[in-house]
Amino acid sequence: MNILHIDCSPRLESHSRRLSAAIVKKLLEVAPDASISRRDFAAAPLPHASSNYATALSSPTTLAAPPKGALNLSEALIQEVEAADVIVIGTPMNNLTVPSVLKAWIDQILRVGRTFKSTPGGKVGMLQDRPVFIGIASGGVFTGERANQPDFLTPYLSAVLDCIGLRTLQFLSVQATAFLDQEQATLARDKALAALDLSVIGGPHP
């Protein structure tokens, strides 16, 4: 099994990093021989879409003959997704949604004609589905009776990943981190992990 492990928090000891690491640890208990590909967007942030990349996607003509090197980063990131049997994403909720470093990754992997096609009924994913575990840390509360802020992160990620064919998503969250001490944070992380459903893990995808 190949695991693509992505972290987005700029803090090296963040709640989302601890949660994503704990998810990977659970996966390794099921598949101890799994390999791990790592993307740390704090240590190596992706550039935002360049002019050449935007130009390449602007019309079928330029996409067929893109500027030299315009699609290299996009292709490398897409191939990482294709090579993964499981994807684990650790991310904070920044201002109610995904951080810009994660959006930069999304902008590179959602590519017309490569990972999705446009149809009269909307975008249709071209990648094979695989499990995606998303560990979220939020300073506030965005679910349940105590919710005090809206959630634009989980519906957004559900929509954009569905665009490319990734539909088997699990969202695990540690919320109200601004008010948790170390012991409470550990309990909250353990509670989140208790909802982890590893039954979706199968063998390597074709």
Domain assignment present for residue 60? The answer is: no
Domain assignment present for residue 18? The answer is: yes
| pLDDT of amino acid 104 | 97
Domain assignment present for residue 106? The answer is: yes
The whole-number average pLDDT for the span 40-67 is: 88
**Better pLDDT: 150 or 66:** 150
Question: Does the pLDDT value for residue 205 go beyond 60?
Answer: no
Domain assignment present for residue 205? The answer is: no
**Alpha-carbon distance values, 68 to 27, 63, 80 (Å):** 39, 11, 21
Q: Which CATH number characterizes residue 125's domain?
A: 3.40.50.360
3-state secondary structure of 49: coil
Q: Which domain holds residue 186?
A: 2-46+72-200
Domain assignment present for residue 163? The answer is: yes
Are 51 and 39 a contacting pair, CB within 8 Å? no
CA angle 130, 135, 141 (to 5 degrees): 135
Rounded Cα distance, 190 and 130, in Å: 24
Span 86-110, pLDDT tens digits: 999 999 999 999 999 999 999 999 9
Tally of structural domains, the chain: 1
| pLDDT of amino acid 191 | 94
pTM above threshold 0.85: yes
Rounded Cα distance, 135 and 144, in Å: 17
Domain assignment present for residue 131? The answer is: yes
Structure-token match 């064919």, residue found: 165
* Range of lowest pLDDT (56-65, 103-112, 158-167): 56-65
Domain assignment present for residue 193? The answer is: yes
Domain assignment present for residue 21? The answer is: yes
